[in-house]
Amino acid sequence: MEYEAVIGLETHVQLKTKSKMWCGCANAFGAEPNTNVCPVCLGLPGVLPVANEEALRLTVLTGYLLNCTIPRHAKFDRKNYFYPDASKNYQLTQYDQPSTAHGFVDFEFNGGISRVRITRAHLEEDVGKLTHFDRTSGVDFNRAGVPLMEIVSEPDLTSADMAYEYLNALKDILIYGGVSDCDMEKGMVRCDVNISVRPVGAKELGAKIEIKNMNSFSGVRRAAEYEIARQIEVVKNGGKLKQSTRRWDDVAGVTEEMRSKEDAHDYRYFPEPDLMPFAPTDAWLADVQKRVVELPLARKQRFITSYQLPAGDAEVFKNDVALGNYFEPIAKQSKNPKAVANWVINNLRAKVTEANEREKAEQGALGLEPADMQLTSLTDLKFKPEALAELIGLVEGKSISNSAAQQVFAEMFESGKAPAAIVQEKGLAQVSDTGVIEKFCDDAIAANPNPVADYQAGKVAALNSLKGQVMKLSKGKANPALVGEILERKLKG
- Interface pick for Zn ion out of 9, 23, 86, 352 (rule CB under 5 A): 23
The stretch near Zn ion (CB under 5 A) out of 31-39, 167-175, 397-405, 466-474 is 31-39
Question: What number of other Cβ atoms are within 10 A of residue 464's Cβ?
Answer: 13
Q: Does 373 bind Zn ion (CB under 5 A)?
A: no
- Residue closer to Zn ion (CB basis): 44 or 279: 44
Query: What is the smallest separation between the CB atom of 22 and Zn ion, expressed in angstroms?
Result: 7
Q: Does 241 bind Zn ion (CB under 5 A)?
A: no
- Residue closer to Zn ion (CB basis): 23 or 470: 23
Contacts of residue 359, defined as CB under 8 A and 6 or more positions apart, other chains included, come to 373, 374, 375, 376
The residues pairing with 209 across neighbouring beta strands, listed in sequence order, are 195, 244
Query: What is the smallest separation between the CB atom of 39 and Zn ion, expressed in angstroms?
Result: 7
Cα–Cα dist 83/2, whole Å: 42
Q: Whats the size of the chain, residue-wise? A: 493
Question: What number of other Cβ atoms are within 10 A of residue 457's Cβ?
Answer: 8
**Number of amino acids touching Zn ion (CB under 5 A):** 5
Query: What is the smallest separation between the CB atom of 70 and Zn ion, expressed in angstroms?
Result: 28
Spacing of C-alpha 188 from chain mean position = 14
Query: What is the smallest separation between the CB atom of 144 and Zn ion, expressed in angstroms?
Result: 8
Q: Does 21 bind Zn ion (CB under 5 A)?
A: no
Query: What is the smallest separation between the CB atom of 256 and Zn ion, expressed in angstroms?
Result: 35
- Residue closer to Zn ion (CB basis): 25 or 348: 25
Judge whether 134 and 158 are in contact, CB under 8 Å: no
Q: Does 146 bind Zn ion (CB under 5 A)?
A: no
- Residue closer to Zn ion (CB basis): 25 or 195: 25
Query: What is the smallest separation between the CB atom of 217 and Zn ion, expressed in angstroms?
Result: 31
Cα–Cα dist 303/310, whole Å: 9
Cα–Cα dist 183/162, whole Å: 21
* Interface of this chain with Zn ion, residues 34 to 93, rule: CB under 5 A: 38, 40-41
3-state secondary structure labels for all residues of 428-486: CCCECCHHHHHHHHHHHHHHCHHHHHHHHCCCCCHHHHHHHHHHHHCCCCECHHHHHHH
- Interface pick for Zn ion out of 6, 15, 21, 25 (rule CB under 5 A): 25
Judge whether 116 and 154 are in contact, CB under 8 Å: yes
Give contact residues for Zn ion (rule: CB under 5 A): 23, 25, 38, 40-41
